[in-house]
Amino acid sequence: MNHLSIAKEALIAQAQAVGQLADRLDGEFQSAVELILACKGRTVVCGMGKSGLIGQKMVATFASTGTPSFFMHPAEAFHGDLGMLKPIDVLILISYSGETEELIKLIPSLKSFGNKIIAMTGNGKSTLAKHADIWLNISVDREVCPNNLAPTTSTLATMAMGDALAVALIEAIQFKPMDFARYHPGGSLGRKLLTRVSDVMHSPAPVVLPSTSFHDCLMVMTQSRLGLTVVMDVDNLVGIVTDGDLRRALLEDEGIIHSTVNQFMTANPRTIHEDAQLSEAEAFMRDNKIRALAVTNSNERVVGVVEIFD
């Protein structure tokens, strides 16, 4: 049995199903997005079984991209969790058949509460679709399951529709990377976008004068354990010395050990403000092929140094 060919056929069939989903999008989708945007409460997603798992993923995407949401289990809702709802909440009910008993039983209560309902089903004539305010068509020709039984293509279509809603909402509310990072402070993106230079800089910065000897400069750099030092003339930054500067200077002239810092420092070094994002500092250092930047405050005073490995 050729497992690769079977897998390829399945992926092609699913890709075609998603493409057909896009072809069927109409004013109902537009209305669904506008309804969610106008919602003063939260977007509540319900579904049983695999639809419920997809609904939980939808909620995670909505919540992390600026649309307040939560998942409500239909069976638990019928036994008390309906108390989590407010009339201003919008419900997204997911059932491919549109006849899932646990969801259908909720409709009278939702209607009495005054909640608006968006139905995601594959059957526009189903009970759920008929009683919803908006119907999103997630129908597929068949499942890629050889027996056309296990929810496969239909679950993919459901998830794709959820992602399409999320993307449309992201664009509508102008949700930016910085907004995303605020909801993901523990992730790598959060660190890059939320961490400021001041959070990771080495302060105070090791300092030498232009007249400092090679030997004394080397001692300051060794003691700081940073492998660099800034060069200050009173309160003015005039240069920076790194391990690389020392090595290059020695290779060019061994007698440099008898000179002073102003003979081998890098003059007019690049700086970055302490409130700048760490990602900005890292990008700047990589683009300019430098390993460290002097950090300044609002008074243009040097308050530390930041390295590309921080």
Instruction: State residue 191's pLDDT score.
Output: 64
Q: What are the structural domains of the chain?
A: 3-175 (3.40.50.10490), 197-307 (3.10.580.10)
Global pTM? 0.68
Mapping DSSP to helix (H, G, I), strand (E, B) and coil, where does residue 240 land?
A: strand
163: pLDDT strictly greater than 90: yes
Could you please report the per-residue DSSP string of 181-220? HHT-TTSHHHHHHH-BHHHH-BSSPPEE-TT-BHHHHHHH
Instruction: State residue 192's pLDDT score.
Output: 65
| E strand segments, the chain | 43-47, 69-71, 90-94, 116-121, 134-137, 207-208, 228-233, 236-242, 266-267, 271-273, 292-296, 302-307
Tens of pLDDT, residues 15-58: 999 999 999 999 999 999 999 999 999 999 999 999 999 999 99
Q: Which of 279, 269, 271 is nearest to 308 (CA)?
A: 279
Average pLDDT, the chain: 90
Instruction: State residue 127's pLDDT score.
Output: 97
Instruction: State residue 82's pLDDT score.
Output: 95
Task: Report the largest interatomic distance among the alpha carbons of the chain, rounded to a whole angstrom.
Answer: 91
CA distance 150 to 144: 8
Tens of pLDDT, residues 167-212: 999 999 998 776 776 776 666 666 666 788 888 888 888 999 999 9
Instruction: State residue 18's pLDDT score.
Output: 94
Contact 103, 74 (CB under 8 A): yes
Burial 206-221 (b: 16+ CB within 10 A, else e): bebbeebebeebbebb
- Please give the distance of CA 137 from its chain centroid, rounded to a whole number: 29
Most confident of 83-92, 239-248, 290-299: 83-92
Instruction: State residue 303's pLDDT score.
Output: 87
- What is the average pLDDT across 85-114? 96
Instruction: State residue 53's pLDDT score.
Output: 97
Instruction: State residue 284's pLDDT score.
Output: 82
310: pLDDT strictly greater than 60: no
The neighbouring-strand residues paired with 267 are 239
CA distance 137 to 26: 9
98 torsion bin: left (phi>0), alpha (psi -120 to 50), beta (else)? left
* Amino acid (1-letter code) at residue 138: I
Q: Which of 111, 140, 145 is nearest to 6 (CA)?
A: 145
